[in-house]
Amino acid sequence: MIHKEIVIVGGGPAGLSAGIEAAKYGAEVLIIDENHLVGGQLFKQIHKFFGSREHKAGMRGFSIGRDLLEEINKSENIELWLNSEVIGINKEKELLVVPKDQGVVEIKAEKIILATGAIEKSIYFPGWDLPGVMGAGAAQTMMNVHRILPGKKVLMIGSGNVGVIISYQMIQGGAEVVGILEASSTLGGYGVHTAKVTRAGVPFYRPYTIKRAIGEDCVEGAEIVQIDSQWQPVEGTEVILEVDLICMATGFNPLTELAWMSGCQFTYIPELGGQVPTHNDRLETTVKGIYIAGDISGIEEASTAMEEGKLAGVHAAHSLGYLSKEKEKVERNKIWERLNDLRSGPMDIKRKNGKELMFLKYNEGCIND
Amino acid sequence: MNKTNLERLILLSRIDSHPILGELDINKEVTLMIDGEVCKAYEGDMIASAMYANGKRVFRYTKKFHKPRGLFCAIGKCTDCIMTVNGVPNIRTCITPVEDGMIIETQEGLGQWERSEGL
């Protein structure tokens, strides 16, 4: 069995930031990712980030990704395992890893940071499983990372930030966005992004939902229908749109399999994306020494994920003795200030409340134990 | 989908120039065998993007109802896009890079491993 100080599972914005932070204080870090490149979803994000400059505002996701990679490569304390899948974990902080073509490797870690991210949620309708129906983020990956336009005429389901930003990127990639469906009567995205697609001539259908995808082997069309205040279809309002791609921008679920396997407790908080590992304000779970960071701890943005990564990284390094209690507290407070800033917008209040509820639940659990 | 639509898709699917990302850096071309057909892709492509670049949307058929499946999450999580690659079934094509000479097959059901005699 290989021995490691800090093992980070997932090399997205949270995992990379956690690694950089912990390594900065001298801790030895191993980052494991199943992809052939780290960066997570940053390299498909070609829009500019919000926030202030210290939150990397104005920068596009892929340049933030490049900066993180550069820092990782510079650090002597960070080791990267790519093409490697973590398939097992336990309370003793032992990991079972399958590096590509190399059999199985066992690792005993002092500290583990799970930064496994999230997966897009689907809505279910007849034909939702046809090729040509996919997550909006999947289409984004194809366009911005692999330079493939997965459809020419697109229907977007969901008017939140993901829906409008990716609709605009579909236009930039050369597609026509035939419409954006919103089941609620109000649009969900930031004004600036919504305005962009509106100016580009994309119609919003609301309150509308999809009735079915049309096609034999691939999507050839979509039937949409208006819904009433009880979310029931209104007869006679059906419209058939000719499309070859239907994208779902209908939210995310945290990827929590390893956390479940590790035996840590969970708390159900809808504002954070459902069942989330119970954690404190240092992002430690109920299994001592196992931390979480990023979307696994509640669905948010890449900017918050990076701060959370630092938070977990600094505390993990401290608990290994790499920085003093006082220094850790100073650093933690700085990160929390930035996190609170990032969560101060009108759309973030739900998530902020969700986080506060989470810390309350963690403390209750500790008292009960 | 009729032939002309499909041809249009193939023609349009590679994004050569992009307002933010600029011109496409053309990497080395690789040759793949997709269901017995010789296809071209670029080094750095995932199998899934190579499939789309060659106008292919159906990656496998389900075991029970023989329904088509294709790309869905594109980040290696949903396993909808699995195919048989070089004789090994259930390969997640969206996160597996292409290699020159790769043999890629539409997967039927759960797929079959090609086992050599005596194993």
pLDDT at res. B119: 46
Answer yes or no: is pLDDT of B1 > 80.
no
Query: How far does B28 lie from chain A, in Å, by closest CA?
Result: 14
Would you say A238 and A225 are in contact if contact means Cβ atoms under 8 Å apart?
Answer: yes
Interface contact flag, B76 A34, Cβ < 8 Å: yes
pLDDT higher than 70, residue B2: no
Which residue of chain B comes nearest to A136, CA vs CA?
B73
The answer to whether residue B14 neighbours chain A at the CB level (below 8 Å) is: yes
Q: Is the pLDDT assigned to residue A273 strictly greater than 70?
A: yes
Q: Do A218 and B1 touch (CB under 8 A)?
A: yes
Which residues numbered 13-72 in A keep a CB inside 8 Å of some CB on B? 34-36, 41, 46, 60
Range A289-296 average pLDDT: 98
Residue A367 has pLDDT above 70, yes or no: no
Residues A152 and A102 in one domain: no
The fold of the B3-108 domain, in CATH, is Ubiquitin-like (UB roll) (3.10.20)
For residues A286-310, give the mean pLDDT.
96
At B85-107, the pLDDT tens digits run: 999 999 999 999 999 999 999 99
- Flag the least confident range among A85-94, A248-257, A342-351, B8-17: B8-17
pLDDT of A9 reads 98
Considering the domain architecture, whether residues A245 and A97 belong to the same structural domain is answered as: no
Asked if pLDDT for residue B21 goes beyond 80, the answer is: yes
pLDDT value of position A3: 97
Please answer yes or no on whether A120 and B73 come within 8 Å at the CB atom. yes
Q: Pick from B20, B52, B78: which is nearest to A46 by CB?
A: B20
Both A88 and A143 in a single domain? Answer: no
Q: Do A146 and B46 touch (CB under 8 A)?
A: yes
pLDDT per residue over A175-215, tens digit each? 999 999 999 988 888 889 999 999 999 999 999 999 999 99
Q: Which residue of B has its CA nearest to A253?
A: B77
CB contact under 8 A, A138 and B71: yes
Residues A125-137 have a mean pLDDT of: 97
3-state secondary structure of B83: strand
Chain A environment of B15 (Cβ under 8 Å): 143, 147-149, 173-174
Name the domain boundary from A249, A272, A299: A249
Instruction: Say yes or no for a CB contact (<8 Å) between A138 and B45.
Output: no
Query: For A36-76, how does the pLDDT look when each residue is reduced to its tens digit (9 = 90+)?
Result: 889 999 999 988 887 666 667 788 999 999 999 999 999 99
Weakest-pLDDT range from A100-109, A167-176, A199-208, A315-324: A100-109
Number of structural domains found in chain A: 2
Q: Which residue of A has its CA nearest to B73?
A: A138
The domain in which residue A245 lies consists of: 123-249
Q: State percent of chain A over pLDDT 90.
A: 87
Chain B partners within 8 Å of A60 (Cβ): 20
Is residue A239 domain-shared with residue A290, that is, in the same domain? Answer: no
Q: Residue A336's beta-bridge partner residues?
A: none
Residue where one domain finishes, among candidates A249, A279, A307: A249
Q: Give dist(CA A79, CA A73) in Å, integer.
A: 9
> What pLDDT was estimated at residue A101?
78
Q: Does B11 touch chain A (CB under 8 A)?
A: no
Rounded distance between C-alpha atoms, residue A322 and residue A338, angstroms: 23
Chain A's closest residue to B20, CA to CA, is A46
pLDDT for residue A58:
80
| Residue range A287-308: mean pLDDT, rounded | 96
Mean per-residue pLDDT, A146-154: 96
Q: What percent of chain B has pLDDT over 70?
A: 86
For residues A8 and A66, state if they share a domain. Answer: yes
- Indicate which CATH number applies to the domain containing A263: 3.50.50.60
Query: What mean pLDDT value characterizes chain B?
Result: 88
